[in-house]
Amino acid sequence: MDYRIRDGIVMETICGTSLLIATLEATQHCPYVAQLNEASAYIWKMLFDNKSFEEMTVMISKDFDISEKEAADTLGGFLTQLKEQNYLVTE
């Protein structure tokens, strides 16, 4: 399944804290703001760069020194959470 960032959602880092911020019409679909930890911000940047699930899995596996299965499971859970909160839409 391909995901894309909902229009009107931006990630900003303020005082070292990464936040997802919904602007204008996006606030009708998702929370106005959500805090991301370092790993979540890393994944968000890959989503912003239109990386595929497979590409993200390989990168997470390498950069966090975990198996590709563990990376895929973690990534899948995080993407599902973002989808449920309406920060992402499926294509």
Encode pLDDT of 19-67 as tens digits: 999 998 899 999 999 999 999 999 999 999 999 999 999 999 999 999 9
Phi, psi of 18 (to 5 degrees): -85, 130
At residue 58, the pLDDT reads: 98
pTM of the complete model: 0.91
Region 10-27: mean pLDDT is 95
pLDDT surpasses 80 at 76 = yes
CB contact at 8 A, 54 and 61? no
CB contact at 8 A, 46 and 88? no
